[in-house]
Each structure stands twice: as structure tokens, then as C-alpha cells.
Homo-oligomer: A and B are copies of this chain.
Amino acid sequence: MKFSKKKEDEFFVMFKDFSTTLVEMADSFKSIIHDYNNVERTIAGLKLSESECDVKSHKVIEQLNKSFITPFDREDIFAIIDQLDDLADFIEDSASKLIMYDIHEIKPDAIEMADIIYDAVDKINTLFNTITDKKKLKESKEAIIEVNRLENLGDAVYRRALTKLFRESQDPMDVIKWKDIYEELEETLDACEHLADTVEGVIMKYA
């Protein structure tokens, strides 16, 4: 890309930093789901990370509103930070619902979805670590394709999970809770794909 090094730093360092926090959050969530103990404490950590993300996104927007010249379209920067922030919310919400809905045991399909979410968030981090380096364009593009593949995979798991839930569970309360949790996990993956696609658009525009 053709932006000045300085300007590039301003926003891309923030995006990199944000996506690193997201990887930590997706990792915590994975731990909670795999080993459903000490949940309250881990979730408190997630809540903290999510608040940090709020502060980070606010800082980017402030920076954005102060900048006369931006490395690329203002709308694109705004869209990226908005979608990074959404992703942090989705991960934290997914974890919080386990507590709110009084979940005592995790269903295997949810474990599978948490793993896929971690992988997708990890690829988004790869994307923000390669995007400013022209020589790594291939890696950036592969990361985008991988996020899209993971979203498709997650969608198949989500549909299988719901199908099973409505056939096997006899308890309406169980259905209410898990239908909603599966939906939240699927929306988290949608948010990953949406973000990857937005970044793809930016790459293409400035290629």
C-alpha cells in the first residue's frame, strides 16, 4: 500500500493490537468451554478485556476524527474498528450467557464451535500482522480465504447442532438456552467473516 509509514502506524498498530487482544479473548473462551470450571473468574477476565477493547476502539475513533488525512478511506477505518469491537462483544456475550442461562454442562457442538472461533480470530490476527507488508500479500489473502472457510464450517456445525437439539431435547428450557448460545456462536463467526471481507475490500481498493 502507498500510505506514508507514519500514518500507517497510527491506525494499523491499533488494529494489530486490538486483534491480539481478540486472540486472547477467544483463547479464554475456548478454555472456559473445554474445561467448564472456574468460569466466573475467567469470565471476569473476559469482561475486563472487552472493556479494554471499548477504550481502544474509542481511541481509534477519536484519532480518526482528529485526522485530516487518513491512510485510506475514513469509512473503511471506521468500519474495521466497529467490526473489531463487535467481535469483542460477541465473544464476551457468548461467555456471559453461559452464566446468565445457568448452564451446568457444555454440549460437544459448542466445544467444536469455540475451537472454530479461536481459529478464525487467530487468522484475523494474521491478517492484521501481514496487511501492511506488500511482500506478505499472499499470506493476507490466504488468511481471508481461511476465515471464509471457517465460517462455512461453523455454519454447518451450527445447523447440525440445532437439528440435533430440536430432535433430542425434551426440555423446552434446554432448547431456549442452547438455541440462543448456538446462535450467538454462529453470529461470532459471521462477525469474523464480515471483518475479513471488509479488509479484503480495502486491500483490493489500494492494491
Chain A interfacial positions (CB closer than 8 Å to B): 61-62, 65-66, 75, 78, 96, 99-102, 159, 162-163, 166-167, 172-173, 175-177, 179-180, 197, 201, 204-205
Nearest chain B residue, comparing its CB with the CB of A58: B197
Nearest chain B residue, comparing its CB with the CB of A165: B100
Q: How often does this chain occur in the complex, in copies?
A: 3
Identify A75's interface contact among B65, B75, B166, B172, CB under 8 A. Answer: B75
Asked if A162 and B100 sit within 8 Å, CB to CB, the answer is yes
Task: Say whether, besides A166-B102, A166-B177, A176-B176, A204 and B96 are in contact (CB < 8 Å).
Answer: no
Identify A173's interface contact among B163, B175, B177, CB under 8 A. Answer: B175
Asked if B176 and A99 sit within 8 Å, CB to CB, the answer is no
Nearest chain B residue, comparing its CB with the CB of A167: B102
Asked if B176 and A101 sit within 8 Å, CB to CB, the answer is no
Task: Say whether, besides A173-B172, A176-B179, A163 and B65 are in contact (CB < 8 Å).
Answer: no
